[in-house]
A and B are shown apart, each in its own frame.
Chain A
């Protein structure tokens, strides 16, 4: 599905590297990783999975949100070596067979849940995490439980519309500009 350079990056002594097994979007990988590699840098730099975004690199924006064993985390603050044995799902792993859009992707498109799109992969992975958790029922609850994802374009009302649709298994009319 994607290419990943298995050679050790330049400047890294081989004995610094630690053998780690990860499943990324369903593909099992054996990786030799220096321990200071964040999951985010592993995804973007070594696995060329650039859908996951780096906004702040400090846990403050949510752009790097991915699912680890079905739970959403900030990949920028997680050392990849500490996830040995885990299953990671990124935005690239959300679509279905033949590239069919995931219901959240479809809802984000219908509701225009973005402007520049930079926060969107994190928003969608975070929303999937929220659905997996099952703690949000109302719009207010979705709002609070999506507060770990900042959207600098301010697409919040549309993002909420999209998630509310998927949570309630419905297709509502997109809001119109006033």
Chain B
């Protein structure tokens, strides 16, 4: 690991005053940043340790629930308000990483974790995300974890988070603050597609700190699931995951939410497919139609072609689990 200087402010304003420089990073749980620093992928000259900032609360607000950026993934998953109103989020969190990692990982860090593309991690290879203009060695290489939707000729990486897939489905809003003010970013606009600037994972500007994530009041506590498919049954990143939630009234689906993980540079939502399902009775044939629509433009890279069919089946199964009100169990790995 390269050397760096370190500070540990206790006020948001102090942290923001130090931020913004290209070689400055915020340190939260460190489970992604420290890992990348060991690999020399991240080489900050200064770390601003934000763990002592007063952003570790889950607050009830008029428009819903406000989750501080420093709330630990484990605390968020087991918070009674979250368990009762947004069990989908608890489920997604408990499907991520390991209990130890969830005890360090924070809400803000999870949002901003970087891709697990093998080439991004290996500084001996060419990667546009690490080194803009260098090329992308993943294309034509090992692509098991890579995108089937929204990729570009410059980058085919996926966003690895489980938490974010649930937050995308729940229409979360990201609160950010910089030395010049505050703003909110709808979740769908927070992460971005790679295009020709894959070095940018999100629309966060340099010097901006995520202070909280807000969940709208609408609760999804009956019809939801988080279905994660991976190479081993726990402690592994998603090949494909599905967050599904809906309301069922008189046998008809309303307010259908569907987000996919492991398939794109951001959690993937398709509003057209959701509209296709809305106002109809839950049926497998209809779920298949929605899956077809979502995956119409899907493209494999060779080694990950299987993910298109896997995603198709996961979407159908996820919608079915949500409609039946039988969310996928975290412990019982059989997929019902």
Residues of A at the B interface (CB closer than 8 Å) are 16, 18, 34-36, 38, 57-59, 62, 65, 71-74, 77-79, 81-82, 84, 126, 129-130, 133, 135, 138, 140-141, 143-145, 147-150
Contacts and interface: CB of A to CB of B under 8 A. Distances in A.
A133 B131 CA distance: 42
Given A135-B78, A138-B331, A59 B47 contact: no
Question: Nearest 5 CB-CB pairs, A to B?
Answer: A148-B98, A35-B6, A147-B234, A140-B331, A147-B235
The A interface is mostly helix, strand or loop, or mixed, namely mixed
Interface residues of B, number: 32
B5 A148 contact: no
Contact of B38 (A35, A58, A73): A58
A34 B34 contact: no
A16 B3 contact: yes
Interface string B130-150: 000000000000000000000
A38 B35 CA distance: 11
30 contacts: A16-B3, A16-B5, A35-B5, A36-B1, A36-B37, A38-B34, A58-B35, A58-B38, A59-B35, A59-B100, A62-B100, A65-B100, A71-B103, A72-B99, A72-B103, A73-B101, A77-B35, A79-B30, A79-B49, A81-B6, A126-B99, A129-B100, A135-B78, A140-B332, A144-B234, A144-B331, A147-B98, A148-B99, A148-B101, A148-B235
B304 interface: no
A65 B27 CA distance: 20
B101 A59 contact: yes
Nearest to A141: B331
Contacts of A62: 98, 100
Contacts of B27: 79, 82
Nearest to A143: B331
Contacts of A84: 8
Nearest to B235: A147
Interface in B297-336: 330-332
* Residue with the highest number of chain B CB atoms closer than 10 Å, among A78, A79, A140, A147: A79
B70 to A, nearest CB: 12
Interface in B68-124: 74, 78, 97-101, 103-104
Nearest to B50: A82
B103 A34 contact: no
Interface string B19-57: 000000001011100110110000000010101000000
A61 to B, nearest CB: 10
A65 B104 CA distance: 12
A129 B331 contact: no
Interface in B3-19: 3-6, 8
B103 A73 contact: yes
B100 A73 contact: yes
Contacts of B1: 36
Given A35-B47, A78-B30, 5 more contacts: A18-B6, A62-B100, A74-B100, A135-B78, A147-B99
